[in-house]
Amino acid sequence: MLDMNEVKIKLIEITMEVTGEGEMPETDQIEESLQKPLEDWGVDSLSALELAVHLERNFGVRMEEKELANLETLADLVHAVEEKGKG
């Protein structure tokens, strides 16, 4: 089972690595940071596909392009990883 706190931190790290934007929030600001729109993190259609590769590699979770297009925030992505990680 996935530790969701670790997933949240790792997703922020992966997103920053993929986009080259953003900075790691303080521990007490992680939840707030996860609510930022993906565009604010610099995520576009190309980087979303790269995120999908990292999700599969790091969490064993496969996300289709169509699924990624429906996500608006990193919190949405965390929720999707949590749901798919249960399967």
Question: CA dist 13 to 29, 30, 76, Å?
Answer: 14, 11, 16
Residue 48 has pLDDT above 80, yes or no: yes
Nearest to 42 by CA among 21, 57, 63, 24: 21
Domain spans, the chain: 4-18+36-85
Pick the CATH number of 4-18+36-85 from 1.10.1200.10, 3.60.10.10, 1.10.150.20, 3.60.20.10: 1.10.1200.10
> What's the predicted TM-score (pTM) here?
0.90
Task: State residue 2's pLDDT score.
Answer: 74
Task: State residue 1's pLDDT score.
Answer: 65
